[in-house]
Structure 1
């Protein structure tokens, strides 16, 4: 029997009021690296608007793991604000997830004033510095940092921990053969390249047990030559399923470093990005933006076809992501065997879209996927076309 997308569901040990997930989208509301009232209100809008689960984006496990200095590093210093956020979301009946990650080569070392690390040494287009190859000591420290962050978030009241294993972040950089040129036990065949991601997932699960659900954002296709692609991407998911450490996978794609528009599709707002970026990145965007922000035409549920291969090969719960905007698409995802649907841009335009769809007031969202929301991350992520 096909589940009702608006009916109650479970995600591991967590009871959800429905199967709609607000996907992690950097909120741009943590100027001091703390959970502000503005961040709380951002998540309350979609929680009151009917989602079952809303996800706080880019909660870094360590200072050098931030994409830039304004992001939250999870620890005792940020616990109180995160707990206030969890309490507020729970009052609406929704549940709260935290996207736990280390940005790796996507980190801006100049902004963070901390050395960025990756699977292998490489130049950073973000900071115009060299990113260092992670040492054995770094990998032990980072794994421990994931464990500490998970413990803190559970203490704060978070219901779900989403481990970021995509978009060329640290764990993803180890998975991508073009970014991982190592010859030690962390490089070479997929089993070695997947070692860090699996180690982190195991360590987090061992730490928190059944106190929260643990999921991972993984890549269907990194979208660039040298990324995790094709059968290897599916083989990695098979390894995670066999490990039994995760309650679900969220299926994504693209690379924040190499090909971000592969994730977003639709308009590529190069001029708008260049206008808000600091120098020298602004100049680089103006000169080379067309090479970085490729144009991909938008179509509804653009990750559905590759995601179906994962659905056929795996038995664990899966979240379908990628341009979901219509009730018919959500119901089709359920019919195809996906347990949850994840939405992002559509909820920026209409935070109460889930209630509108459930009540029959609308059958589709108003988002036109122009992606003008993307450059607003520097001043508070929002839809510039939204009214009110």
Structure 2
């Protein structure tokens, strides 16, 4: 029917089509290990027709989780992850593990471990100062990414997606606002990009050409003094020249300071206030309007920014943000993007891609209310979803 449904190469692997289920933290790992619920979540999406589903979030270290319930990559996690990838493969899809270190976004109180930040910062999540890693500790973070990638390979994943976005640790190093270091990891754009480049190279060395390696890169942080598109373009060019990555997935926004730049649509302030613990709830009610800004929703809302990267780079790019129907997917391919990534639309309808393949006029039922966002604490889901068959 269209090129979007044709098989496509992503580095060393072939996907059955050009649609990737984007990383959306599932909130289904209460003991930081795979559950039947998590397996069922990804099996349903795979059965719904995507080329690849992304398991999020797989932290590279226990202190790199946003809270203690998230998976962190260790030998004990491998059997469950292998069961998950087997289930996805049985439905004809590939599986990707999103790897990263939450850094400033980590909840130190929940993890009972210090949160890391490139420079001195106070954590509103852990209500304590963050730890500024020494050079040797940065080396440990890089090695942890490589080790996590090896464990992902043992778990049967076809790809890994390294998280360089949303002011998680690597993204915070890229930010001139958050990174005020005076050593070789701070100051100039080249120095601030060093961590991202070294992690990408370490992951590639760990998995060779056996797995696809993707990086999720912020095009901009959307905050005054943060990473901008021109600087991100330089980072992307360096990553491309290093040759460690098979593709970049382009994103935007800061989980610390401006998360809605990634999502667009309604800002679910009241819903977030209901699920937060009492002290945080009060602060959120006072400051929530500043934290959760509103950006009007439109299809392919990150396309204009992403087009600048497409013009400058030759490597494969994945377009994210407002991909809900065949017209938008075809537009992305026509603009030179190699793959598209879908998130919220698949929370509402895991079988959406099958429906589009059967009827090109199909439109997503997602209304971009973003009320799925607060459900990360109880199992990420669309609060309006009706039970629908996946085939």
Q: What's the offset of the Cα at 1:3?
A: 7.0
SS of the equivalent of 1:117 reads: coil
Match of 2:80 in 1: 81
**TM-score scaled by structure 2?**
0.98
CA distance in 2, matches of 1:120, 1:77: 33
State the superposition RMSD in angstroms.
Answer: 1.1
Match of 2:131, SS state, is strand
Rounded Cα–Cα distance in structure 2 between residues aligned with 1:223 and 1:351: 30
Residue number in structure 1 paired with 2:295: 296
Partner of 2:263: 264
1:190-209 matches, within 5 Å, as 190-209=189-208
Counterpart residue number, 2:329: 330
SS of 1:162's equivalent in the other structure is strand
CA contact (8 A) 2:324 2:345 kept: yes
Q: State the match for 1:309 in structure 2.
A: 308
Q: Would you say the 8 A contact 1:249–1:319 is kept in 2? A: yes
Partner residue of 1:385? Answer: 384
Aligned-pair CA distance for 1:361: 6.4
The aligned residue for residue 129 of structure 1 is 128
Corresponding residue for residue 109 of structure 1: 108
State the SS of the aligned residue for 1:132.
Answer: coil
For 2:246, the equivalent position in structure 1 comes to 247
* Residue of structure 2 in register with 1:46 after alignment: 45
CA offsets, 1:287-334, max 9 Å, x none? 110010011111111000010110011000000000111110000001
Q: After TM superposition, where is structure 1 displaced by more than 6 Å over at least 4 residues in a row?
A: none
- Preserved contact between residue 23 and residue 55 of structure 2 (Cα < 8 Å): yes
Q: How many Å apart are 1:383 and its aligned residue?
A: 0.4
Taking the aligned partners of 2:278 and 2:138, their CA distance within structure 1 comes to 32
Q: Give matches, 1:9-28, under 5 Å.
A: 9-28=8-27
Asked whether 1:236 is paired with 2:261, we answer no
Q: Give the Å deviation of 1:286.
A: 1.1
- Give the aligned partner of residue 165 of structure 2: 166
Shift of residue 362 of structure 1? 4.3
Which whole-Å CA distance do the structure 2 matches of 1:362 and 1:98 have between them?
Answer: 32
Whether the 8 Å contact between 1:47 and 1:89 is mirrored in structure 2 is: yes
Equivalent residues of 2:326, 2:360 under 8 A apart: no
Query: Does the Cα contact within 8 Å between 1:33 and 1:70 map onto a contact in 2?
Result: yes
Aligned to 2:147: 148
Structure 1, residues 186-244: CA drift from partner, whole Å, max 9, x if none? 10111100001100110111111011000100011111112111210111100000000
Work out whether 1:351 is the aligned partner of 2:347. no
Structure 2 CA distance, aligned partners of 1:365 and 1:29? 25
Unaligned runs of 5+ in 1: none
TM-score, with structure 1 as normaliser: 0.98
1:46-100 Cα distance to aligned partner (Å, 9 max, x none): 1000000000011000011000010001110111100100111000110000000
Deviation string, structure 1 residues 329-374 (Cα, Å, up to 9, x no partner): 0000011110000000000000000111111164221101000101
- Segments of 5+ residues of structure 2 without an aligned counterpart are none
